[in-house]
Amino acid sequence: MVNTAVDGIILMDAGGSITMFNHACERMFGYGAAEIVGGDVKQLMPPPYRDEHDQYLDNYRRTRNRKIIGIGRQVVGRRKNGETFPLDLSVGEAEQGGEVFYVGILRDMTERDRAAQMRELLIEQLTASNEERGHFAHVASHDLREPLRMVTAFSRLLSQDYGERLDERGREYLSLMVSATGQMQDLLDDLVDFGRLGLEAERAAWFASDEAVAQVLETLGGPIRESAATVVCDELPRIYGNPIRFQRLMQNLIGNALKYVAAGVEPRVHVAAAREGAFWRFGVSDNGIGIEPRHYEQIFEPFKRLHAKGLYYGTGLGLAICRKIVAGFGGAMAVTSRPGAGSTFSFTVKIQSEEDGDDEHDS
């Protein structure tokens, strides 16, 4: 059993002499058991640890003050070829026939530490890449806004001053041009917002989510009246997070519920929340056109659209922004739907106590 163990197992007497060295230890250190049994365990340690070993054993025998025995920690080992490597070491003490001995269990942490270093490097690279992307989107948006404003302004002036001189087709072309500049402005706004999410420090606070939804409904008052929509909002909890981001999230979800309905159908929207373990689960349900299950993941990807642009207006970033906002709340987003029978978009927000939120805010 000892020799088939994956971890290294080593047995030492009270003086630190090795009495057993299993096969995993042989692979780990490069010594054969015959070379190491009877020798001092210090030969498996690099300086300065080998010089401190005797002092540690003497101190333990006198004071019973434990630093490794019965506790375990990460140390540095030395292979036969002189190479050093990280070790996870736990040591137990036992007594048999009046003799004290120690059993050490060792695990080579080289690959784990290398993976951790690679992970840290990857995180640094991804963070730098995200910051660069966000900066690029901001600069590009800023540089594009001015010529876009010029096109929009002169298009409107052209429509006002010369519209009557144009025939019906000319006025249609001009109307399409003005509409396209508006869509371009919305796309630039969404691009900047999408790039900044996750990079800016979140201004978190406690807020009433039902009040945030009420403000969203005021903002969407025009589309709600025009579509004769019915929006019902249940009692919603007080949560901790960025209230502006939450409003943007709910505005996107409720706005989609108003938009993606069949012709002639009056939208019905239901906003609710329920406790689910350590989270609040919010849901926005509608009576819209629905989504096929094979598209559930696709709709959250940037610029992925299931319909022609002329059929339902949008920038293709709304749900991607929603998912990033929810991730900022420490939650996840999902959708359930049936084509022709509506959809429910749900997301979770971690439940926190007032004390937890205040501590996080203060920090």
pLDDT tens track for 182-198: 667 666 665 666 555 55
Q: Which CATH number fits domain 110-200: 2.40.50, 1.10.287, 3.30.70, 1.20.1630?
A: 1.10.287
Helix/strand/coil percent split, the chain, to 5: 50, 25, 30
Predicted confidence (pLDDT) at residue 6 exceeds the cutoff of 50: yes
Q: Which residues contact 180 (CB under 8 A, 6 or more apart)?
A: none
Of 227, 230, 273, 267, which is closest to residue 250 (Cα–Cα)?
273
Q: What is the pLDDT of residue 338?
A: 86
Of 330, 340, 325, which is closest to residue 212 (Cα–Cα)?
325
Lowest mean pLDDT among 51-60, 146-155, 165-174: 51-60
Mean pLDDT (whole number) for 99-115: 87
Buried b (16+ CB within 10 A) or exposed e, 184-210: bbebbebbbbbbebeeeeeebeebebe
- Predicted confidence (pLDDT) per residue in 119-136, tens digit: 888 877 776 666 666 566
- Predicted confidence (pLDDT) per residue in 271-307, tens digit: 999 999 889 999 999 998 888 888 777 777 765 655 5
Query: What is the model's pTM?
Result: 0.48
Lowest mean pLDDT among 100-104, 222-226, 298-302: 298-302
Domain 8-108 in CATH: superfamily?
PAS domain (3.30.450.20)
Domain ranges across the chain: 8-108, 110-200, 201-363
> What would you report as the CA-atom Rg of the chain, rounded to the nearest whole angstrom?
33
Buried b (16+ CB within 10 A) or exposed e, 94-112: eeeeeeebbebbbbbbeee
Query: Quick one: pLDDT band at residue 208, thresholds 50, 70, 90?
Result: very high
Predicted confidence (pLDDT) at residue 268 exceeds the cutoff of 90: yes
Query: Quick one: pLDDT band at residue 211, thresholds 50, 70, 90?
Result: very high
Domain 201-363 in CATH: superfamily?
Histidine kinase-like ATPase, C-terminal domain (3.30.565.10)
Predicted confidence (pLDDT) at residue 363 exceeds the cutoff of 50: no
Tokens of 69: 């025995």
* DSSP three-state, residue 316: coil
19 vs 22: CA distance, rounded Å: 10
